[in-house]
Amino acid sequence: MEKEIIYNSNLHFEHETWRRELFFWKDELIFFNIRLSELVTRWTKKEVLKQLEHFQNEFILHGGVIEDMLEAIEIHETRIAGQNLTGQDAIDTTMVKKHMEFRKKMEIQEQIYADLKKDFFRFLTKYL
């Protein structure tokens, strides 16, 4: 059975896809926070304000996760660039393992973020 060769260019492509998605989330969070600001001026009920605070905290936490993930991608990209300078196009197994672990993290984060957005849109529908 032949060994599968994983090329740096393929990993780089996936990194770029993730990076664009993370930057999109980052932009969305700006708009979500604007919506929160609008709602704060409309509602004074403790129940609604508590939910607003919950979403604000979630957006802050998710923003931190986005920054951490962008940083991890940058570190991995630097390692790939170092390999490319040495003329190696196939990445070592340790780096592939880290890449696969990050892919799983990204998939989990995609689900968490999608659920957060659904909850927020339901909230907006109810109170906006």
> What pLDDT score does 78 carry?
87
* Cβ atoms 22, 70 nearer than 8 A: yes
> What pLDDT score does 98 carry?
87
> What pLDDT score does 96 carry?
81
| Domain-wise residue ranges, the chain | 8-127
Please provide the DSSP assignment of 53-84 as one string: HHHHHHHHHHHHHHHHHHHHHHHHHHHHHHHH
* Cβ atoms 66, 22 nearer than 8 A: yes
What is the spatial distance between Cα 65 and Cα 59, in angstroms, rounded to a whole number?
Answer: 10
The tens-digit pLDDT sequence of the chain (128 residues) is 555 656 777 888 999 999 999 999 999 999 999 999 999 999 989 999 999 999 999 999 999 999 999 999 999 888 877 776 666 655 567 778 888 999 999 999 999 999 999 999 999 999 88
What is the spatial distance between Cα 91 and Cα 72, in angstroms, rounded to a whole number?
Answer: 17
